[in-house]
Amino acid sequence: MRKQLITLSIFTLSLFSITSCEKDKDDTPQKTKTELISQGSWKLQSATWNSLDALSFFDDCYDDNIITVNANGTGSIDESTDVCAPSNAGPFTWSFQNNETEIDISATLIPGGGSTFTLVTLNETTLVVSQDFTFGPSTAPAILTFIH
Backbone angles phi, psi at 54, to 5 degrees: -80, -15
The predicted-structure confidence for 23-55, as pLDDT tens digits, reads as follows: 556 678 899 999 999 999 999 999 999 889 988
Helix (H) or strand (E) segment spanning residue 40: none
Reported residue count of the chain is: 148
Whether the predicted pLDDT of 58 surpasses 90: no
Decide if pLDDT at 66 tops 70: yes
Q: What domains can be seen in the chain, in order of their start residue?
A: 31-147 (2.40.128.540)
Least confident of 13-22, 23-32, 57-66, 77-86: 13-22
Query: Which pLDDT score is estimated for 25?
Result: 64
For residue 7, the model assigns a pLDDT of 59
Say which DSSP state 57 is in.
Answer: G
Query: For the whole model, what pTM was predicted?
Result: 0.79
